[in-house]
Every structure is written in C-alpha cells, then in structure tokens.
Structure 1
Amino acid sequence: MSQTLEIYVNSLTFSHVSNDPRVEPSLINISLALPKGSRTILVGANGAGKSTLLQILAGKRLIKNAEVQIKGKDVFREYPGGVAFLGTEWAMNPVVRGDIVVADFLDSVGGYRHKERRDSLLDILDVDLDWHMHAISDGERRRVQLVMGLMGEWDVLLLDEVTVDLDVLVRDDLLTFLKSDSEKRGATILYATHIFDGLNTFPTHVAHMRLGAFVKQPSPWPFVEVGASKLYNVALQWLRADREHRHELEKSGRKLRGARKDEVPRDSETFYSKYDYSH
C-alpha cells in the first residue's frame, strides 16, 4: 500500500532525549498516508511535534523501528530525489548572512540550471538580484531562501513556518504559485504554519497535531461539519481545545505553565528587588 502513496509513515515514535525515560516523546505512534498531489496543512500549538515530523521526513533526524517513506523509498536508506525541505533555521545560518550578492548566491547553488523557474520566483517574491545578503531584512532573506528552495522542480515540498516573515502580498502570491504548481505537476505539499488567513482554498487536506500525536488525521478539506468552512476558525477552535486539554493534564501533575501565583519569591527576584530604583 505504501508504494502508491507519496508520503507514508507507520508507527513512528521519536524522542529528542532517547536515554531519559522521564522526557516525553516528541512524536507518539504517528501514522500518515498522503496521496500524490495533495496539499496538507498541519495545525497544532507550539510544541505539538509538527517541526519534528517534517525534519524526520526530510531525513534530518535518525529514527529507529518505524517505516518512513517518501515516493516509496525509505528516507534514511535510499532518500528519494525531488524532495525540498524549507525550514526557519536557514535564515540564522551565518553563511547566508555574509556579504554576498543575491545573484551570486543563487548562481552558487545552481540557479543558472533552473533559469525559467528562478526568474518566475524572483518576480513572484519581489527579489532584487543586487541585494547583499548581510544588508537585507529577515523577510527579504526569507524570500531569497524560497527562490533557492523552489527553483528546482520538486515532487514533494516540506514547509516549516517559512512564510512567517513574508508580508501579506508576497505570501499570497507565493501560495497562489505553489497551488498552481502542485496542480499542474501533481506535486505534494506538507505545510506546517500558524498563519491561516488566506489559506482557505489552498489545502486539499488538513490535520491536527497535539502533544506529539494526531488528534485528527489528514482529512479532505473543506470539512462537512457545520461552522467548519473557514480554516482560521477551525484552527482557533482546535488550539483552544489543545490549551484546555493541557490545563486538565496540569491538574493531574503535568508541569504547570504560566505564572506561579503561590510560590515563595525566587532568590533572583529577592536579590534584584534590592537594587530596583525604578520607583
């Protein structure tokens, strides 16, 4: 069955600290089956496991005792071609913050081999080839990353929060391009985001992750439930339910978040209060 699917995961559990049983796994018994040409939005609070799942699919984290395939190939033993992963950590790399002109930077990663798509993306993302990478904003640097990552003809695209720095016009133009590209070429997209405005017509599937597990498996969008016509409203409802669920767990002993109202003042609080001259 997995050979007919573009992305297939079976019984995946993963912990960042595998030798400490006190640390809860980041992913718990994850199974996933996405058809070719699908565009799936992952919804979940910070810490739900979305980024970890995408990094594993991109072959960036080693796992044991689970089946993880893209295009019918094991992502750790025979990683398939045509897979693009774009995450937020790229823009923090000191190499891409050096004094290099954007045109030279794109040529250095093979932009000349994909001239037609590269030029289309330069227009869509409104990138100036004469920019210097060290002298531009985070949003402009993110646009350059997207040109670099999308100019090749990918078959599977893994996106982790990479539109967060974009202004609303550039983001809308990018999503229009990605949807059209996916439909024309049958390409598959798995996209984790916290920005749901303007996404209503983008996905073919939507999924909900909570504390490392799927609450709702990727399901065809739009949903048939009453009041589920807008993705923003659905995401807001799910995230509120996630917080309420976590509060219930905290009552049962899970580590508490937020203010500690009945706690004795910390040593640092006592120390610094002696030197507080703001009053």
Structure 2
Amino acid sequence: MAVISATNLTYSYNSFSPPSLVGINIQLPPGSRTILVGANGAGKSTLLQLFAGKKLVSTPGAEVKIKDQDVFRNSPSGVTFLGTEWAMNPVVRGDISVAAFLDSVGGYRHKERRDHLLDILDVDLDWRMHKISDGERRRVQLCFGLMAPWDVLLLDEVTVDLDVLVRQDLLNFLKDDSEKRGATILYATHIFDGLNDFPTHVAHMRFGSFVTLPTPWDLSKKSTTLYQVALDWLKEDREFRKELERTGKTIARGARRNEAVPSDSETFYRKYDYSH
C-alpha cells in the first residue's frame, strides 16, 4: 500500500493562470526516501504543500492521500511539513530564548529526541530568537519540527541555510530515523552534494508534471552521482523550454537585445511617470 499518493491531480492557483500541476499520478511506498528534482517553478513546492494539506484541491476526481486518508477532509496524524517560509514568520523572530521557545511548543514531551537534535544541529539553548542568523533560526526550526516522531516527512528546501557539516549530520539522522521506524520522506532540494546514499527513489518534475516518476535509486548500480543525474535533467529542462520559446509557445526568458533601453535616468523615470 502506498503511504503517499496522488491521483488525477491538477492544481491552479487561480482561474486565469496556467495550472501549476497537471495530471499528477504517483505512489510512494512506506519507508521510502524520495528526492524531487526540478527547476524553479517545476511544481515541487506546490506538490509538497498539497500533500501537507495547506492548499485545497477542487479538481473533480482528484485524490491526495497520506496513509490512505484524504489530506483535506481527514487529515492523517504523524505528518510533518517543513518549508522555507517558517524563518520569516515574525512569531519566531521574537525576543525569546531557544529553550523557552522549544518548551512552549512541547519540547519537554520529547526530551530524548529534542536533546539528540540539539546536538546534531549544534543549537545553543541560550540563543535569542530575534538575534540569531537565518541559518541558526533554520536549525531551531528543524529541531522544533523533528523532535516529535513522524511517519511522513515533507521537506521543501529546508537545508539551504545550513553549513555543510550540520547538513550532513542532519541527513544521516533522517536516513537512520527513516530506516529504524519505517518512516517516509519526500524531499525537494536544489543541493545534491552528499545525497548519493540518501534516497531510495528519485523523481523529475518539469512544468507541473512528472518527466520521471519516483524511480528506485540504487547507488551500487549507478555509474554516476545524483548530482550529475540532476544536472543532466535540468539541462534537458532548459533545452525543452528553449524549444518552446523558439516556437512561440512560451515567452522567452533572458535579455531582450532588440528592445530599446533608456540611455539616461531622466528618460527611464519619465517612462514610468504616471502623474500626467
């Protein structure tokens, strides 16, 4: 039985924009650790947010389930979502110590795991939340999010602020935790160094669809690294997009060299003067 699944999933943010996800059909087995690969805008974050129940799907016939439960109507327990927006929340930038913050969200209930994570993430309990860096705040988020045991972990680029050592220690912890408890991880990232032996599956998204569905990743049978696989996929994505641009099916990116550019600041600002 799939622990994470989506069927006939299409999603649009509004009625006048192209869909962000189109015809998604995937199934992930229990205990799997899947890496989502795709360029910016491929739909990875949207998919993770939907699995987390943070966005509502209204497409007829679409199903989004975790542990065989509808994530919108019967939210399953044991699901943890960690995204990049947390560190910008003003609540977690208040004048409060890390120790008090973790206690306020129930850290005392999971003291053994909390303490283990504090060591792995190299967190100082005396840090003041309003004084620490974004990377240090990210470490606190990870401790907060991971200290309660999870069955399904949805990660959206949450290691981007971490230094190499802390990131590697965290990945080792997540892999070990997943293997010991049979827990499942779906992880979207753009950083592939040090990930070779982490995933059980890899998947490739492009323009809201899967080019490569979650596929078993067995490092012992690979002649290349995950980094190189991701690089090759992203190069294919760029060529695919450029072909769409050449045929007029999408707007071209990059410099517009035939477009007149104001040669002085007065001309530039006059162009955007709406007072007349």
TM-score, scaled relative to structure 2:
0.93
Residue 169 of structure 1 pairs with residue 169 of structure 2: no
1:244 to 224, 231, 239: 239
- Secondary structure of residue in 2 paired with 1:260: coil
Q: How does 1:200-279 map to 2 (within 5 A)?
A: 200-222=196-218, 227=223, 229-253=224-248, 254-265=250-261, 271-272=267-268
Is the Cα contact below 8 Å between 2:36 and 2:189 reproduced in 1? yes
- Secondary structure of residue in 2 paired with 1:52: helix
- Secondary structure of residue in 1 paired with 2:50: helix
- Secondary structure of residue in 1 paired with 2:130: helix
Deviation at 1:203, TM superposition (A): 0.1
Deviation at 1:5, TM superposition (A): 1.1
- Cα distance in 1, alignment partners of residues 155 and 264 from structure 2: 41
- Cα distance in 1, alignment partners of residues 72 and 267 from structure 2: 51
Query: Where does residue 24 of structure 1 map in the other structure?
Result: 18
Aligned-partner residue type, residue 130 of structure 1: D
Query: Where does residue 99 of structure 1 map in the other structure?
Result: 95
- Cα distance in 2, alignment partners of residues 149 and 117 from structure 1: 11
Which structure 1 segments of 5+ residues have no match?
275-279
Query: Where does residue 11 of structure 2 map in the other structure?
Result: 14
Deviation at 1:223, TM superposition (A): 7.2
Query: Where does residue 197 of structure 1 map in the other structure?
Result: 193
**CA deviation digits over 1:118-176, x for unaligned, max 9?**
00000000000000001000000000000000000100000000000000000000000
- Cα distance in 1, alignment partners of residues 78 and 136 from structure 2: 25
TM-score, scaled relative to structure 1:
0.92
Query: Where does residue 72 of structure 1 map in the other structure?
Result: 68
Query: Where does residue 124 of structure 1 map in the other structure?
Result: 120
Provide closer, same or farther for how the CA distance between residues 14 and 233 of structure 1 changes in structure 2, counting only shifts above 3 A. same
Query: Where does residue 274 of structure 2 map in the other structure?
Result: none
Provide closer, same or farther for how the CA distance between residues 259 and 133 of structure 1 changes in structure 2, counting only shifts above 3 A. same
Which structure 2 segments of 5+ residues have no match?
271-276
- Secondary structure of residue in 2 paired with 1:200: coil
Provide closer, same or farther for how the CA distance between residues 267 and 155 of structure 1 changes in structure 2, counting only shifts above 3 A. farther
- Cα distance in 2, alignment partners of residues 250 and 124 from structure 1: 46
Deviation at 1:264, TM superposition (A): 2.2
Aligned-partner residue type, residue 51 of structure 1: S
Query: Where does residue 277 of structure 1 map in the other structure?
Result: none
1:144 to 140, 143, 148: 140
Is the Cα contact below 8 Å between 2:262 and 2:268 reproduced in 1? no
Number of residues of Structure 1 aligned to a counterpart in Structure 2: 267
- Cα distance in 1, alignment partners of residues 266 and 191 from structure 2: 40
Deviation at 1:256, TM superposition (A): 1.1
Q: RMSD value over aligned CA atoms?
A: 1.8
1:38 to 28, 32, 43: 32
Aligned-partner residue type, residue 212 of structure 1: G
Provide closer, same or farther for how the CA distance between residues 247 and 117 of structure 1 changes in structure 2, counting only shifts above 3 A. same
2:53 to 59, 80, 98: 59
**CA deviation digits over 1:246-265, x for unaligned, max 9?**
00011122111110010122
